[in-house]
A and B are shown apart, each in its own frame.
Chain A
Amino acid sequence: GAGVSQSPRYKVAKRGQDVALRCDPISGHVSLFWYQQALGQGPEFLTYFQNEAQLDKSGLPSDRFFAERPEGSVSTLKIQRTQQEDSAVYLCASSWGQVYGYTFGSGTRLTVV
């Protein structure tokens, strides 16, 4: 596609509910990243894929967070048993490689009530 597509655009979850956030990267982009952005802050790294391999998940805040990219294209970020502190904007980015820079999606705003 022409850009990075994320869905849903907004998600309201009750505390304890599981959620799944989807990212559809630019076709052919090898690298895919998930970031979390709290209100008034810069994005913080969560996890990184190169094709289907998850090479770095050091930014995932807890074992309730899980990401996958089974066929090396679309990725899903899953959050189990959501907590209020999970409320944030979740951004996905893709790239050919760091030399080429990164393209971000519009994000998913998650609100846990």
Chain B
Amino acid sequence: KQEVTQIPAALSVPEGENLVLNCSFTDSAIYNLQWFRQDPGKGLTSLLLIQSSQREQTSGRLNASLDKSSGRSTLYIAASQPGDSATYLCAVPFGNEKLTFGTGTRLTIIP
């Protein structure tokens, strides 16, 4: 069974700082890993999708890395802004395509 863990559970940083969110998974036989953002009371917005053959993906101020062998992914957010405040979830497909999610990191950017 695939287990996904995210550390820290919550993080507060001043605006403008760079930060790293961590995701670890137990079964390294994954096709890809996807990072999502969830605003309170809303659905999930896809941020980045990293295929198993890739080591990183970038979108604007976001950079995600993937190390399959160690079962880890990181999401790096540069020059954080108050609008980045949200819960960030990582997820990996397990079995016949169903996603296993971490419990998320609740990020607060302090103006």
Binding site for B on A (CB under 8 A): 4, 6, 31, 33, 35, 40-45, 48, 55-56, 59, 91, 93, 95, 97-107, 109
Task: Please state if B46 and A104 are interface contacts (CB–CB under 8 Å).
Answer: yes
New A-B pairs, 16, CB < 8 Å, besides A42-B101, A102-B91: A33-B97, A33-B99, A40-B103, A42-B103, A42-B104, A43-B99, A45-B98, A45-B100, A93-B99, A98-B32, A101-B32, A101-B49, A102-B99, A103-B46, A104-B43, A106-B42
Q: List 14 A-B contacts (CB under 8 A).
A: A33-B99, A41-B103, A42-B101, A42-B104, A48-B98, A91-B44, A93-B99, A99-B31, A99-B51, A101-B46, A103-B46, A104-B44, A106-B42, A107-B43
Q: Given the complex, which residues of A lie within 8 Å of B102, measured CB to CB?
A: 42
Q: Which B residues lie within 8 Å of A41 (CB)?
A: 103
Task: Say which size band chain B's interface belongs to.
Answer: 20 to 34
> B43 and A48: CB pair below 8 A?
no
CB distance from A104 to the nearest CB of B (A): 4
Interface of B is mostly: strand
Instruction: Give Cα A75 to B91, complex, Å.
Output: 23
A103: shortest Cβ distance to chain B, in Å? 6
Write the nearest CB–CB distance from B2 to chain A, whole angstroms: 11
Q: How far is the CA of A41 from the CA of B100 in the complex (A)?
A: 12
Q: Are A99 and B32 also in contact (CB < 8 A) when A33-B98, A33-B99, A41-B103 are?
A: yes
